[in-house]
């Protein structure tokens, strides 16, 4: 019978940190990046930590990309690893001032750094070509088996149409140039927007994307969406419903038609949910589910008149992502507020299927 169990959990950082993402290097070390300062509002720079014991203990190693005062800036970069294990990418948004602005109002640029010495040192930040408007970057660069790099983003150009398009910019030369931009999610009926995009390669050349799906304008939650590309991210099929109303969602491919899915449940019994899922081109089927992180709170539906953007300001946990480790277990990281402090939590989980 399919099953999920928690092997251990703990905290990586306690300095009003958020938006972690981890990788495992060829030598077995784990690296995790996270923003420091301001919690989910991102008012500082990005640090990284290393674990040499499978995630049980972590040591902060340094600042990956610093914030600045002149001009004022803050950033949140997320890690990914090239398929040959030789290059680590750190990708995200560097915000310019506007620290008090709400979602969709904060100006910035999409940048990446890279390391070719197992994360001991990092290159200066380089900007990617992006639309001249606020862009949401909520996942790492996705390196594919082919060598192609996909850097995701979502348009936040219009306050009434936040997330109207999710796209990727594409590099086929290791990040030196990014000449192509391709649409991933866009509703031809102009009813839905897509936030918190996540990407992974489910088999060589086949890429899946997921997104928190909302109604444009009032931003009411819908079931999360997914779509597939069968040509290394160049073209994308129509978006389909996952059947899960779960806000931020990511997934770990387990081979064939199987996924380990992680998502935030912010209504009812709040927490981070883990699930084993089978997928087809048009649907998902949940075969097992459990609570990975119990927020120990119960939340009713949004107050009358409150929009989805209003709700963002009150969230106390988020951004769960996972990686399949060499020993067959999964390491999950996410941010959460505990005892009034926003920090990074890790959890190791075991599955059988």
Task: Give the pLDDT confidence of 240-259 residue by residue, as tens digits.
Answer: 999 999 889 999 999 999 99
* Interatomic CA distance for residues 334 and 289, integer angstroms: 18
- Residue 294 maps to which CATH number? 2.120.10.10
CA distances from residue 69 to 63, 90, 93, 98, 284 in whole angstroms, order as listed: 16, 22, 16, 13, 46
pLDDT confidence tier of residue 336, bands split at 50, 70 and 90: very high
The pLDDT of residue 267 is 76
* Residues β-bridged to residue 276: 260, 288
The pLDDT of residue 107 is 85
- Cβ atoms 105, 83 nearer than 8 A: no
Q: Is 305 a residue whose pLDDT tops 80?
A: no
Checking DSSP bridges between strand 341-352 and strand 330-338, what pairing results, if any?
antiparallel
* Interatomic CA distance for residues 91 and 148, integer angstroms: 15
The pLDDT of residue 304 is 55
How deeply is 334 buried, as exposed, middle or buried, from its count of CB atoms within 10 A (0-12, 13-18, 19+)? buried
Q: How much of the chain, in percent, has pLDDT values that exceed 70?
A: 93
* Interatomic CA distance for residues 223 and 337, integer angstroms: 25
Report pLDDT digits (tens) over 101-143: 666 677 899 999 999 999 999 999 999 999 989 999 999 999 9
How deeply is 109 buried, as exposed, middle or buried, from its count of CB atoms within 10 A (0-12, 13-18, 19+)? middle
* Interatomic CA distance for residues 352 and 347, integer angstroms: 17
Model confidence, pTM: 0.94
* Residues β-bridged to residue 126: 112
Domain residues for the domain of 109 are: 3-352
- The count of domains in the chain is 1
Q: Rounded mean pLDDT of 287-295?
A: 95
- Cβ atoms 321, 198 nearer than 8 A: yes
């Amino acid at each position: 019978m399919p099953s999920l169990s928690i092997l251990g959990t703990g905290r990586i950082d306690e300095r009003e940190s958020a938006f972690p993402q981890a990788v495992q290097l060829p030598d077995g070390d784990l690296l995790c990046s996270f923003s420091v300062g301001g919690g989910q509002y991102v008012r500082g720079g990005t640090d990284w930590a290393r674990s040499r014991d499978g995630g049980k203990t972590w040591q902060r190693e340094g600042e990956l990309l610093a914030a600045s005062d002149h001009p004022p800036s803050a950033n949140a970069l997320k890690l990914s690893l090239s398929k040959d294990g030789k290059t680590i990418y750190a990708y995200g948004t560097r915000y310019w001032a506007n620290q008090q602005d709400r979602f969709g109002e904060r100006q910035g640029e999409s940048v990446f750094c890279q390391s070719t010495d197992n994360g001991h040192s990092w290159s200066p930040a380089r900007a990617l070509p992006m639309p001249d408007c606020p862009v949401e970057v909520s996942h790492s660069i996705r390196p594919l088996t082919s060598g192609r790099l996909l850097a995701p983003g979502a348009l936040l150009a219009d306050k009434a149409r936040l997330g109207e398009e999710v796209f990727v910019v594409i590099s086929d030369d290791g990040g030196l140039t990014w000449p192509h931009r391709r649409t991933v999610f866009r509703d031809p009926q102009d009813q839905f927007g897509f936030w918190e995009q996540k990407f992974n390669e489910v088999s060589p050349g086949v890429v899946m994307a997921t997104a928190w799906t909302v109604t444009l304008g009032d931003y009411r939650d819908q079931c999360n969406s997914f779509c597939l590309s069968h040509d290394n991210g160049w073209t994308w099929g129509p978006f389909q419903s996952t059947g899960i109303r779960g806000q931020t969602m990511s997934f770990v491919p387990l081979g064939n038609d199987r996924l380990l899915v992680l998502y935030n449940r912010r209504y009812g019994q709040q927490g981070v949910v883990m699930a084993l899922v089978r997928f087809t081109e048009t649907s998902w089927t949940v075969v097992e589910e459990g609570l990975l992180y119990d927020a120990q709170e119960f939340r009713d539906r949004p107050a009358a008149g409150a929009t989805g953007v209003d709700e963002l300001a009150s969230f106390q946990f988020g951004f769960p992502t996972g990686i399949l480790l060499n020993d067959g277990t999964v390491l999950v990281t996410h941010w959460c507020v505990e005892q009034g402090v926003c920090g990074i939590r890790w959890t190791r989980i075991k599955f059988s299927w």
